Amino acid sequence: MTTPEAGVFDALRAQLQEAAGTFADGPDALEGILLGMVDDVDRAVREPLEIFPVCHHSPASAAAMARRLRAKQPKVVYLELCEDMAPLLTELRNCTLPVAVQAFATELEGFPADLAPLSVIAPLTEASAEYQAIAYALDTPGVELVLVDRSSDHVFQWEPERPTQPGQAGAHADADVDAEESGLHGDAVGVEIGDLRPRFAELEEHLLRNGRVRHWSEWWHQYVELPLGDAGHDAYRQVMFLIGSLFRRLAPGDASRVRVDEDRERYMWTRMREHLAATGTDPADAVYVCGAFHAASRVAEFGFAGAGGFTIPARTGTKWQYGLIPSSNTAIEAQFGLAPGSVSISATQWAKNLKRTKVVPFRLEGQAGGGRKPTRRTTAKAAAPAAAPTAAEAKELDRLSGFLQRPGVLDTLDEAELLGWSVSIVQAARRNGYLASTADAIAVYEHAILLAHLRDRAKPTPYDFQDAAVTCIEKERVPGRRDVRRLVEIMMGGDRIGRVGYDALPPLARDVHDRLAPLGLDLQQRGVKRALLDVSSRPELERCSDLLWMLRNLLPAEAARPIMGERVLGQRPIQESWDLALGTHQRALIELGYEGISVEQVLEQRLRRKAYHPLATTATVLEAVEDATLYLRSARLADELGAHALKVLATERTVDSAPEVLRRVRRLLAYYRTSAPVLPAWVEAFVTTGYAHYCTLLPRAFADEDATVRQVAAMLGFLFTMESLALSLGCDRTQLELAVAQAHPEEPSKVALLWAAQVQLGRLSRAELRGRCDELLGNPLVLPTYPRYLSGLVHALEPVPGLTDLAVEAISNAFARLPDPVLLPWLPTLITTLRAGGAEFAPLLVREAGRIFPGHLPSLDTWVPPWRLPTPTPAPQRPRPAHDPGSTLLAAHPATCNATALLLGCDAPWASAAPAAPAGALLMEHHPTTAEALTSLISL
């Protein structure tokens, strides 16, 4: 390459200065911009260290990069990419493009904790200049690849505010595209080489309007990509320098963004000068691959001879993990705000450029995927630097003037291509349910040419063809899942999805595939695989089952979905069926490998993180305890988390999580009672602490309007369910009785719930509760709130399931006694109340109703509800012996007899005994049924 001297662009400067004077009423208005652009081009071209400007995923840039590398064969390639990603590039040999290089961090130091996890990705496709540079440097002996851009840590240091809508750039994504494909990068921050897009909104709008295009990708394809496809090296560089300078000079004056851009340029030039000084490399033997936006830099550190006062800031203590994740054309478009299908069209244009220009691209040896074989590189020495050009030669070095004035040229090969597209889209439309015919193919062909002419284009572009196909084929409706616009994108190359090979996976991902090998499935392929596990006949598959349930807990739901089988405490698997899509969700599996070396380690870390989170509730910690027991079978971890649950419970001042706490404690108690000889110490401490805790909060919860009846019922359920265990561990039942006595609710459902608690404690009889319900039905002023009383009775089945018959009776009486004008208005309220607040109690009510109500319709006419049957008269007492052991027992324990009688439904009050009669005889007289039952027990 020759280095131009002064005066190369004098003719272009004169033309632009004349144009500025003509269109702006004087030369001063545009001189600073137009002439400054030429100065930027001149400065970049004169740089001894060759600057190669590129645009990300541009086939023209990739083809020019391949041509230049074969012609110059530099010894050092400086690449605008995060410098800490360099060790991972060799793993690209084991992948199928497109993939993305990722830096990932979960343990942050120096960043706000709520930003975790941090993720930076840099996607690579074969039709990108950076991949050509990487393939050349890695497969050519004696060539060094140096990444010079800021590290992943500096990306977040210099941009402290993360984007709130990472996928907002992909708003153009077609609704037909699967969400998993467009979100392969997740919420990662994208880093690309050559972010070449005008940041001045008015400029972009002007370019789109005058170019008669819909979006930026179409403008770039028409006015830059196609003309530069077969341009010479000097013309390519000067045009890209000019575009970068234009966009940079017309960018809005956002101080923070300008500062970041300039700091990146200072960073890169500082790293390059440090490397040149350390290795003694001649700048003529190196090439600097960067975005055209940064090639037009005006910082003092620019160039090999630039200033060296920039100090690179230190990294934080954040521990970064690195890996390769699968990417796709759709994911790249969504990440960087490109139009749908633009990356697929670029891949098609890349193939056309290679065919037309005969450029042989670089490709990593052993690269997975694709049909082009690796090309053997020559080892010829780099050409010696040419002598300085003469004045006549310098005039010829101005390729920019001629390129800007050259009209578009029609490529006759595109006519055959357009005809092939027209036939292919009709075939694709027929397969998707459209009534397309040969006439539609002709119409699409002619309409595409017409649109190109209307838009002042020499030949139809893929975007013209897409508009023509939509107009001529889609017509009124879309018969299938895909519309014609999406069919064109698929026809142009579709959404090519990359894959990370086994050897490039982190140890955890490889371990998962090794442990699931007994299933006999290729889980690295995309798509859903059905796995059948007959553990009873193949016990070795139980380990696969354990791993799948852990992956179910760690990965997205679609990655491992159980079809048959469940994981329950205390049960072992027998037969299971799974739908596995680990290849589709390879990114999520790879990111697990950043957190640990085994699935068990990652699951334990996540359970600890969940349990010790500052906002964790008691229910959250108990869920972690249950997961540790269920998936890891770790008594040590369960005891540790259980002890922490005890601390969290003692500090809670609300009852929001009471229903979940009750459900999980019951399940854990049932498990430990059947699988362990004694209860763990933390369980016993949790029961006693919970008993005292909920007794303390109960009166306030009854009166608190924010506490729902479901939460209060769960508190009572905990107290009554755990009462026997709590009393055996030293708790005092008086505390519960005082708590219920201090409760004074006003909300009707809580009032009914309090009545149920009083019945359970013996302070209210069942007959009194029945009478209160009857009084409510007889009071017209209370009827509108009667459904809420019924809701309280239904929720009372949680702590007092013995009241199921009374709940059925109360509901039945409402339907039986109320007239239709009264019943029908609040019947919807009753139904919605029971459905919203008591759906889980419906089986109890239905079962009890099935026991009470007749099973056949004819029996309904003569059926009498049990609560309306006359009370049976007690049977005559049989003579008893003088020394009846039952009488002696009753006389010795009257309180026990009274409680037993209450449980058996004997509500008769105590009568004072006659002086002459024995106390046991009086008890026998008032409670003959109880005495008879106790006598039978004693005799046994």
Per residue in 119-174, pLDDT (tens digit) is: 888 888 888 888 999 999 999 999 999 999 988 888 888 875 544 443 333 333 33
Query: Per-residue pLDDT tens for 165-201?
Result: 433 333 333 333 444 455 566 666 766 555 555 655 6
Closest CA to 96 of 582, 588, 503, 497: 497
Q: What is the pLDDT of residue 9?
A: 52
For residue 117, cis peptide bond before it (omega within 30 degrees of 0):
yes
Tell me how far apart the alpha carbons of residues 852 and 364 are, in angstroms, rounded to a whole number. Answer: 79
| Contact by Cβ (8 Å): 151, 83 | yes
Mean pLDDT, residues 451-456: 81
> Which run of H or of E encompasses 134?
helix 129-139
Encode 719-749 in three state secondary structure. Answer: HHHCHHHHHHCCCCHHHHHHHHHCCCCCCHH
Tell me how far apart the alpha carbons of residues 914 and 906 are, in angstroms, rounded to a whole number. Answer: 21
Tell me how far apart the alpha carbons of residues 498 and 491 are, in angstroms, rounded to a whole number. Answer: 18
Tell me how far apart the alpha carbons of residues 769 and 250 are, in angstroms, rounded to a whole number. Answer: 81
Q: What is the pLDDT of residue 388?
A: 38
Instruction: Sort 425 into a burial class: Cβ within 10 Å, 0-12 / 13-18 / 19+.
Output: buried
pLDDT category of residue 404 using cuts at 50, 70 and 90: low
Q: Give me the phi and psi of 561, to 5 degrees please.
A: -120, 120
Using alpha carbons only, give the angle 678, 684, 689 rounded to the nearest 5 degrees.
Answer: 180
E-only strand ranges, 89-195: 95-96, 99-105, 118-124, 144-149, 189-190
Q: SS3 of 534, please?
A: strand
Whether the pLDDT of residue 324 is over 80: the answer is yes
| Contact by Cβ (8 Å): 204, 259 | no
Q: What is the pLDDT of residue 593?
A: 87
Give the single-character DSSP code of 296: T
Q: What is the pLDDT of residue 675?
A: 87
Tell me how far apart the alpha carbons of residues 594 and 460 are, in angstroms, rounded to a whole number. Answer: 47
Q: SS3 of 873, please?
A: coil
Query: pLDDT above 70 covers what percent of the chain?
Result: 79
Query: pLDDT above 90 covers what percent of the chain?
Result: 19
Q: What is the pLDDT of residue 610?
A: 92
* Long-range residue pairs from 210-216, CB within 8 A, at least 24 positions apart, any chain: 212/454, 212/455, 212/456, 213/455, 213/463, 214/339, 214/463, 215/172, 215/339, 216/339
Instruction: Give the number of other CB atoms < 10 A from CB of residue 770.
Output: 15
pLDDT category of residue 860 using cuts at 50, 70 and 90: confident
Question: Could you tell me if residue 859 is left (phi over 0), alpha (psi between -120 and 50 degrees) or otherwise beta?
Answer: alpha
Q: Which of 10-24, 241-255, 351-365, 810-824 has the lowest mean pLDDT?
A: 10-24
Tell me how far apart the alpha carbons of residues 519 and 887 are, in angstroms, rounded to a whole number. Answer: 70
* Long-range residue pairs from 678-686, CB within 8 A, at least 24 positions apart, any chain: 680/635, 680/638, 680/639, 680/642, 681/639, 682/639, 682/642, 682/643, 682/645, 682/646, 683/642, 684/725, 684/729, 685/643, 685/646, 686/642, 686/645, 686/646, 686/649
> Which run of H or of E encompasses 247?
helix 233-249
Q: SS3 of 322, please?
A: strand
Q: What is the pLDDT of residue 179?
A: 44
**Rounded-to-10 torsion of CA 230, 234, 239, 242:** 170
Tell me how far apart the alpha carbons of residues 624 and 517 are, in angstroms, rounded to a whole number. Answer: 29
Q: Give me the phi and psi of 534, to 5 degrees please.
A: -100, 85
- Max mean pLDDT among 352-361, 607-616, 866-875 falls in 607-616
Residues 902, 905, 906, 907, CA torsion sign: positive
**687: CB partners within 8 A, 6+ apart:** 665, 722, 725, 726, 729
Q: What is the pLDDT of residue 382?
A: 40
Q: What is the pLDDT of residue 376?
A: 42
Using alpha carbons only, give the angle 764, 768, 771 rounded to the nearest 5 degrees.
Answer: 150
Whether the pLDDT of residue 37 is over 70: the answer is yes
Give the single-character DSSP code of 2: P
Query: Per-residue pLDDT tens for 733-761?
Result: 899 999 999 999 989 989 999 999 999 99
Whether the pLDDT of residue 52 is over 80: the answer is yes
pLDDT category of residue 392 using cuts at 50, 70 and 90: very low
Tell me how far apart the alpha carbons of residues 136 and 73 are, in angstroms, rounded to a whole number. Answer: 9
Tell me how far apart the alpha carbons of residues 92 and 888 are, in angstroms, rounded to a whole number. Answer: 90
- Max mean pLDDT among 37-41, 665-669, 785-789, 838-842 falls in 665-669
Q: SS3 of 99, please?
A: strand
Whether the pLDDT of residue 18 is over 80: the answer is no
Mean pLDDT, residues 657-673: 91
Mean pLDDT, residues 343-366: 83
Q: What is the pLDDT of residue 489?
A: 77
Q: What is the pLDDT of residue 622?
A: 94
Tell me how far apart the alpha carbons of residues 590 and 193 are, in angstroms, rounded to a whole number. Answer: 24
Tell me how far apart the alpha carbons of residues 432 and 891 are, in angstroms, rounded to a whole number. Answer: 89
Residues 270, 274, 277, 281, CA torsion sign: negative
Higher pLDDT, 854 or 922: 854
Instruction: Give the number of other CB atoms < 10 A from CB of residue 548.
Output: 27
Tell me how far apart the alpha carbons of residues 255 and 807 are, in angstroms, rounded to a whole number. Answer: 70
pLDDT category of residue 31 using cuts at 50, 70 and 90: low
Closest CA to 215 of 341, 75, 63, 94: 341
Higher pLDDT, 504 or 493: 504
Query: Per-residue pLDDT tens for 235-281?
Result: 888 888 888 887 777 766 667 777 888 888 888 999 999 999 999 98
Q: SS3 of 692, please?
A: helix
Q: What is the pLDDT of residue 791?
A: 83
The average confidence (pLDDT) of the chain is 79
Q: SS3 of 121, please?
A: strand
| Contact by Cβ (8 Å): 56, 327 | no
Tell me how far apart the alpha carbons of residues 80 and 289 are, in angstroms, rounded to a whole number. Answer: 6
Whether the pLDDT of residue 548 is over 50: the answer is yes
Tell me how far apart the alpha carbons of residues 544 and 515 are, in angstroms, rounded to a whole number. Answer: 7
Tokens of 489: 């994108």
Our measurement of the distance from residue 201's CA atom to the centroid of its chain's CA atoms, rounded to an integer in Å, reads 32
Whether the pLDDT of residue 557 is over 90: the answer is no
Residues 375, 380, 381, 386, CA torsion sign: negative
Mean pLDDT, residues 356-363: 86
Instruction: Give the number of other CB atoms < 10 A from CB of residue 358.
Output: 7
Mean pLDDT, residues 920-931: 60
Q: What is the pLDDT of residue 30?
A: 52
pLDDT category of residue 926 using cuts at 50, 70 and 90: low
Closest CA to 874 of 901, 903, 913, 912: 901
Per-residue CA distances from 465 to 170, 425, 472 (Å): 23, 10, 10
Give the single-character DSSP code of 190: E
Tell me how far apart the alpha carbons of residues 480 and 215 are, in angstroms, rounded to a whole number. Answer: 27
Whether the pLDDT of residue 586 is over 70: the answer is yes
Whether the pLDDT of residue 109 is over 60: the answer is yes
Whether the pLDDT of residue 728 is over 80: the answer is yes
Tokens of 51: 């600057």
Higher pLDDT, 490 or 930: 490
Residue carrying the six token digits 């004072």: 912
The pTM assigned to this predicted structure is: 0.70
Q: What is the pLDDT of residue 742?
A: 92
Per-residue CA distances from 36 to 204, 206, 261, 298 (Å): 20, 21, 19, 11
| Contact by Cβ (8 Å): 154, 267 | yes
Tell me how far apart the alpha carbons of residues 158 and 261 are, in angstroms, rounded to a whole number. Answer: 10
Tell me how far apart the alpha carbons of residues 120 and 85 are, in angstroms, rounded to a whole number. Answer: 10
Tell me how far apart the alpha carbons of residues 410 and 907 are, in angstroms, rounded to a whole number. Answer: 104
Query: Per-residue pLDDT tens for 900-912?
Result: 776 666 665 555 4
